[in-house]
Chains A and B, each alone.
Chain A
Amino acid sequence: DAKTTQPPSMDCAEGRAANLPCNHSTISGNEYVYWYRQIHSQGPQYIIHGLKNNETNEMASLIITEDRKSSTLILPHATLRDTAVYYCIVSGVGNQFYFGTGTSLTVIP
């Protein structure tokens, strides 16, 4: 079973930051938080992942709370191409990714 809870949908104005929350209150010490997105019916695309510390790459930032029970994916300047379903996944040993239903993000012009 997916170990995360995400809002089913969110809207964001183009050019603004999109902040996508994820709750993973049962995360264990050796589990990472991953974010993927799926545009239309394409294969999911990796965005970012982290264990304890906040992470940033060219696509996004990942903020993990100190107790690790929740995290937020930040897309700093959302564009129309960022409209997609975003999946927050918790995974550890064996690297088995269990996807939930994700958050459908719509970027509005």
Chain B
Amino acid sequence: NAGVTQTPKFRVLKTGQSMTLLCAQDMNHEYMYWYRQDPGMGLRLIHYSVGEGTTAKGEVPDGYNVSRLKKQNFLLGLESAAPSQTSVYFCASSYWDSTEAFFGQGTRLTVV
């Protein structure tokens, strides 16, 4: 099992460019999440999904969109990247409510 895999691991974008971060899990988990982590801070929830075809907003959703067309994938999109979106992005998944979450190794995004 690969667990939770994030693609890409590193990316540099210019302001205004768009990109999509891919999160894939092979554990048949219902719940998936996207977080961002800025230096010296904890993780902040961007968006999450409680099942295929569903999405919901977290703490800091502005500037991001998500889609969960397939159960195993959760995509995070930046339509027009801004320097404030420079961060490390983590994806996670969990089977159901009150179960442990598994995290990917992160995507380091720099917007210049």
Secondary structure dominating the interface of A: loop
Q: Which residue from A93, A98, A101 sits with its C-beta under 8 Å from B45?
A: A98
- Does B62 touch A at the CB level, under 8 Å? no
Please report the C-alpha to C-alpha distance between residue A42 and residue B103 in the assembled complex, in whole angstroms.
9
Nearest residue, chain A, Cβ from B30: A95
User: Given A97-B33, A98-B45, A101-B41, A44 and B97 touching (CB < 8 A)?
Assistant: no
Please report the C-alpha to C-alpha distance between residue A42 and residue B94 in the assembled complex, in whole angstroms.
18
Cβ of B44 and Cβ of A45 under 8 Å apart?
no
* Interface hub of B43, B59, B96, B105 (most chain A Cβ within 10 A): B43
Chain B contact patch, size range: 20 to 34
Nearest residue, chain B, Cβ from A6: B42
- Does B66 touch A at the CB level, under 8 Å? no
Nearest residue, chain A, Cβ from B88: A41
21 contacts between A and B (CB under 8 A): A1-B59, A32-B98, A34-B100, A43-B92, A43-B104, A44-B43, A46-B100, A46-B101, A46-B102, A49-B98, A49-B100, A87-B43, A92-B97, A93-B97, A94-B50, A94-B56, A94-B97, A97-B33, A97-B45, A98-B59, A101-B42
Residues of A within 8 A of B (CB): 1-2, 32, 34, 36, 41-46, 49, 51, 87, 91-102
Residues of B within 8 A of A (CB): 4, 31, 33, 35, 40-45, 48, 50, 56, 58-59, 88, 90, 92, 94, 96-106
